[in-house]
Amino acid sequence: MTVIVVSGTGTEIGKTVVTAAVAAVATAAGRSVAVLKPAQTGVGPDERGDADEVVRLSGAAASAELGRFPEPLAPGTAARRAGLAPVGPREVAEAARKLAADHDLVLVEGAGGLLVRFDEEGGTLADVAALLGAPVLVVVPAGLGTLNSTTLTAEALRARGIEQLGVVVGSWPAEPDLAARCNLADLPESAGAPLLGAVPEGSGALDPAEFRAAAGDWLAPALGGAWDAEAFAGAQAPPVSVG
C-alpha cells in the first residue's frame, strides 16, 4: 500500500495518535513516511497541527497541510466562515499522489468522520479515498455507541466500493468498562473488517522515543506491529453472566 486514508467514526477519538503509531512502525521498518492533513481546523496559525504532531511522535519523514481554518468546525463550514477557499477532494488526492511519488507510504488523516464536508459541493474524505483507490483505516472509540457508528461507517464505505483496511481503537481505557470489553469481540462483525489495534489512552503524551518503542505493541501485523487481536480480546473478555 502506498496510501492509507485514516478516518474516524467521530471527533476526538484518537485519529492523530493512531496515525502517528502507524507512521512510527513504518518508519522503524525503514520506510519513508509522509503525513497529509487535508484541512486542519480549530488551530491558530502558529500552533502545532495534527500533521506536525504525527511527525513529532513518529519521526515520519515529511508532512503537509493543505488548509488551516481557525474555528473547530467541519472543514467546509470553517472555511466558509473564515472567508477562505475550501480544500476539495481532487486537491487532496493530487497532493497525496505527489507525496507518494517521493515516499514509501502516505497517511492521509481526515477531520472528524468519513462524510464530514470539505467544501460547498459536498466533497468528503470518502471521495478522496475513491479518487486514490486507497483503503481506509477506521479509528473508533472503545465504549458504548461505537458499534453503531462503526457499522454506519462500514456501510458508507461498502456503498462506495471503498476497501476498509480494518478498525483500531483510538484510546483504550486503563480501566475499561463492560461495554468496552464486550465491544472488542463485536467490532470486527460491525465493521466487516478486522480489529487491527488498540492504542492505550494517554499515549499521545508519551515522550517520542517511548512512543516509537511502544507503537508496534499496539498495532496488528497488517499494520506492521505485533499486537494480537484474539489474545487481547480474550484477556479483556468479561465473565459470562448467567441466571
Q: What CATH number does the domain containing 128 carry?
A: 3.40.50.300
Residue-wise pLDDT for 92-105, tens only, equals: 999 999 999 999 99
239 — pLDDT class (breaks 50, 70, 90):
confident
Among 109, 173, 110, 166, smallest CA distance to 142 is for 173
pLDDT for res 242: 63
What CA–CA distance (Å, rounded) separates 145 from 20?
25
Supply 139's cell numbers: 479509528
Annotated catalytic residue, options 37, 68, 117, 212? 37
Region 67-90 average pLDDT: 96
Among 174, 177, 215, smallest CA distance to 196 is for 215
Q: Are 137 and 127 in contact (CB under 8 A)?
A: no
What CA–CA distance (Å, rounded) separates 123 from 3?
19
What CA–CA distance (Å, rounded) separates 105 from 16?
16
Residue percentage of the chain with pLDDT more than 70? 98
Structural domain span for residue 209: 3-236
DSSP state of 238: P
Supply 76's cell numbers: 467546509
| 89-102 vs 125-132: helix crossing angle, rounded to 10 | 50
Residue-wise pLDDT for 158-199, tens only, equals: 999 999 999 999 999 999 999 999 999 999 999 999 999 999
The mean pLDDT value of the chain amounts to: 96
Residue 47 pLDDT > 60, yes or no?
A: yes
Residue 242 domain flag = no
Residue 243 domain flag = no
128 — pLDDT class (breaks 50, 70, 90):
very high
Write down the pTM of the prediction. 0.96
37 is catalytic: yes
Domain count, the chain: 1
Supply 238's cell numbers: 468479561
240 — pLDDT class (breaks 50, 70, 90):
confident
